[in-house]
Structure 1
Amino acid sequence: MKFTLPIALCLGTAILAAGSAHASSSAWFETDGGRFRLVTTGQPDASGKLQGVLDIELKPGWKTYWRDPGNSGVPPQIDLSASRNVSAAEISYPAPQRHDDGYAKWAGYDFPVRLPVGFAVPAPGEPAAIVADVFLGICETICVPVQARLEVDPAADPGNANDAALVAAALGALPSAAEPDFGATLAPAEGETMSITAAAPGDPEGIDIFVAGVDGYQFGTPQRHEAAGKISFLLKVLERPTAKPAGKGIPYTLISSAGAVEGFLPYP
């Protein structure tokens, strides 16, 4: 999948538009490959967390990216700098698919997808306004960078049952937390190659892993190996920081015919 951001911007294929607030969700933003909007539960909890969803409807044949799109794409991004009393947006991801379009191998979705978004509201009792500049790559034969401004007034309709149900369903579709019998472990690194052992129920042929490059790391596509009944994946470390970060580790999603789980691997 070719992704040529500077050319696309010059041609005007990246579009900036405003979607005005409608109840506890934004207006839909329409683009060539589909449309998207923001939906929220309408009010933050006592800790100041407001749960929402980036609701992406794709037309047949179109795709969008997972959190790590490889070296040729761009992950979903949300900029809240124009918002009021909303300071952060943390995106969560359902299990992706692996795509090979002849140009690159990458992880993403070729079906309508809802990405849960947790918004931080520093002062829960004060008015808040979400003004989100959303940036997505939406792809058919080439990828089109799409930018849109979506606006939500969480207090406009805090009891909207349909929006709350949509958010709850998106959260319920996320991978479960990894466990010893369904998860991944990292073996000691050998040079610039890391080996991950996977344990998962279900048909071994359906086991695959997606590893996200974060905190200065970038990885190659996992290469699957099966020996003596054990499944492992080898990945090349393409880039690494000069010192190990202090974060949670490397996020991964492991899938099998039994479902999907997610967790963190130690920094290699």
Structure 2
Amino acid sequence: MLSRTLALFAALAALATPPAVPAAQAGTGLDVVSARLLPGWRQPDGTHLAGLELVLAQGWKTYWRAPGDAGIPPRFDWSGSDNLSGVAISWPVPRVFDQNGMRSIVYADRVVLPLHVRPARGGADVRISARIDLGVCEDICIPAQVSVAGVLPADARRPDPAIAAALAARPLSAEEADVSAVTCVLAPAQDGLGLRVEVEMPGAPGVKAAVIATAAPHVWVSEPALSAAAGRLAAESRLVHVDGHAFALDRDGVRVTLLDGASAVDIRGCGSR
């Protein structure tokens, strides 16, 4: 199972960007996902808050930023845009979906992804032209591609309720969830490292799933095994470089997301002991 998973990870990382397709049309030709740019509003600090709305056909799902055991992580190509310095995405709380013994982290029906857009030239409109590669899944999982384009007006000031609601649905930060300590314990393991993340916070036994990611793009992280007691949770994973190389773990780059079904906690970095 590990070798098959690593092979899939490596193959996805090596995929060439597929050719462009018309806006709101799946790359396979199946009309199962559409996309729309919500122009949003310009904030006092000069950042423009926009939104990417994805609508899926009934029964279909698409993947969160970390797709889980079986899935295709979303990719964003903003290179066709004008007056764009960068984009950061806020991810609303996803669902944990189990199928055939494999776990995926998904969105279903409709999701709005808030986009924190940084203009290259302050006070000017931003013209967005983006292509997004997605995985979509029903009984089978297939790659898809959507495109969006539009203008983010510099003088827009009225908040969009759909974007505001999506921002409110984001995971809590460690501070907001009253996390008092996060510790990473490393140990040698077959082909890589064993990682045990220990989190001290109220409500730890209610956590149903955890996702661990690192700052190293070519390090595969297994699905964590969870154990919890009053005020403490432990998540244990294996870390393996997809090319079999040795690697060092940057504890500041460890990101742990804890999911309890209705809410989530997003934790950045961990200490040692």
Shifted more, 100-109 versus 50-59: the winner is 100-109
SS in 2 for 1:106: strand
Query: How far, CA to CA, are the matches of 1:146 and 1:128 in structure 2?
Result: 26
Whole-Å Cα distance in 1 between the matches of residues 152 and 235 of structure 2?
44
The answer to whether residue 97 in structure 2 is matched with residue 99 in structure 1 is yes
**CA pair 124-46 structure 1, distance change in 2 beyond 3 A:** farther
1:146 is aligned to 144
1:261 is matched with 265
CA distance in 1, matches of 2:66, 2:106: 8
Aligned mates of 1:267, 1:106 — CA distance in 2: 28
Whether 1:194 aligns to 2:195 is yes
The alignment status of 1:40 with 2:39, answered yes or no, reads yes
3-state SS of 2:236 partner: strand
Distance between the aligned counterparts of 2:120 and 2:181, measured in 1? Answer: 35
Aligned match of 2:211:
210
Q: How does 1:18-97 map to 2 (within 5 A)?
A: 18-19=22-23, 32-42=31-41, 44-70=42-68, 72-97=70-95
Distance (whole Å) between structure 1 residues aligned to residue 216 and residue 115 of structure 2 = 20
Q: Any idea what the Cα deviations from partners look like across 1:181-211, whole Å, max 9, x if unmatched?
A: 3477233212221112234444824443222
Q: What is residue 173 of structure 1 aligned with on the other side?
A: 169
Q: TM-score, normalised by structure 1?
A: 0.76
Q: CA deviation at 1:99?
A: 2.7
Q: Find the residue that maps to 2:161 and give its secondary structure.
A: helix
Instruction: Give the counterpart of 1:251 among 255, 264, 268.
Output: 255
Q: Is the 8 A contact 1:85 1:129 kept in 2?
A: yes
2:235 is aligned with 1:233? yes
Structure 2 segments unaligned to the other structure (5+ residues): none
Whole-angstrom CA distance in 2 between matches of 1:254 and 1:103: 20
Q: Deviations over 1:102-155 (max 9, x none)?
A: 274332223422222211211022342111111111111222212122101112
Moved more, 30-39 or 164-173: 30-39
How far apart, in 2, do the equivalents of 1:258 and 1:145 lie? 27
Q: Distance in 2 between matches of 1:200 and 1:60?
A: 37
In 2 relative to 1, CA 110–205 (structure 1 residues): closer, same or farther, beyond 3 Å? same
1:96 CA displacement: 2.3
Q: How far apart, CA to CA, are the structure 2 residues paired with 1:37 and 1:241? A: 42
Provide the rounded CA distance (Å) in 2 between the counterparts of 1:252 and 1:82. 32
Moved over 3 A (4+): 14-19, 28-31, 44-48, 180-184, 198-203, 226-230, 240-245, 256-259
| CA RMSD, Structure 1 to Structure 2 (Å) | 3.5
Q: How many residues align?
A: 249
TM-score by length of 2: 0.75
Which among 220, 223, 226 is matched to residue 221 of structure 1? 223
Task: Give how far 1:227 is off.
Answer: 5.4
Contact 1:80 1:87 in 2 (8 A): no
